[in-house]
Structure 1
């Protein structure tokens, strides 16, 4: 099996940080997340998205992603010292729901 060839590219720090945050939630590496986004972009272009449609989509402000919101909550709970308690509460809630569904 032949090893894949790799090249280095420079990316804006903000893009890499966003990819890192999303990658954690999606259980990918940062490089894997960026590669995934690149493949999605290529698929969209190959599918016939026009330059005008792309510019319009990119100019619209985006809402924070669910992954970003989850990470923000996680960081806030960690900073407040309440992370462990929130984890215990989530586990207890999930266990209760599982027992209820099993009954």
Structure 2
């Protein structure tokens, strides 16, 4: 059993960390908290039934229409969204503007951190 920190280190692309740093600063978050926030949003969208194709289309739209897929063997993505996904995108933007999305993400991050806290060890009777 590990007695160390409830956190682990991972390698992330420099560009992602730079984007997270830029996004975190105005929100007064750490880079790690910003990435946690983005991960919570991604999990929420997946749980809501967002398909892989719709996810990639949203990412392409967010990335200014540039290709998300760097593998030349796969076709380039189109930023076009289905009407349903366009409605979802509008809904997510409205939640973000109202602050409700940030509150939900804060709650999810707090719950995840609470789960990651080490549990006190119980002493077994000898």
Q: Aligned equivalents of 1:6 and 1:58: distance in 2?
A: 28
Tell me which protein shows more helix as a share of its residues: 1
1:24 matched to which residue of 2? 25
Distance 1:4 1:49, change over 3 A: farther
Q: Aligned equivalents of 1:62 and 1:40: distance in 2?
A: 19
Q: Aligned equivalents of 1:52 and 1:30: distance in 2?
A: 28
Q: Aligned equivalents of 2:33 and 2:5: distance in 1?
A: 14
In structure 2, list runs of 5 or more residues that go unmatched: 66-126
Residues 4-23 of structure 1: pairs in structure 2 closer than 5 A: 5-23=6-24
* Deviation (angstroms), 1:23: 0.7
Larger radius of gyration: 1
Which protein has greater RCO, CA pairs closer than 8 Å, 6+ apart? 2
Cα RMSD of the aligned pairs, angstroms, is: 2.0
Q: Aligned equivalents of 2:57 and 2:16: distance in 1?
A: 20
* Deviation (angstroms), 1:62: 3.1
Q: Runs ≥4 in structure 1, deviation > 4 angstroms? A: none
Q: Aligned equivalents of 1:4 and 1:43: distance in 2?
A: 26
Confirm or deny that 1:33 pairs with 2:34: yes
Q: Aligned equivalents of 2:53 and 2:12: distance in 1?
A: 24
Q: How many residues align?
A: 61
1:68 matched to which residue of 2? none
In structure 1, list runs of 5 or more residues that go unmatched: 64-103
Residues 1-103 of structure 1: pairs in structure 2 closer than 5 A: 5-60=6-61, 61-62=63-64
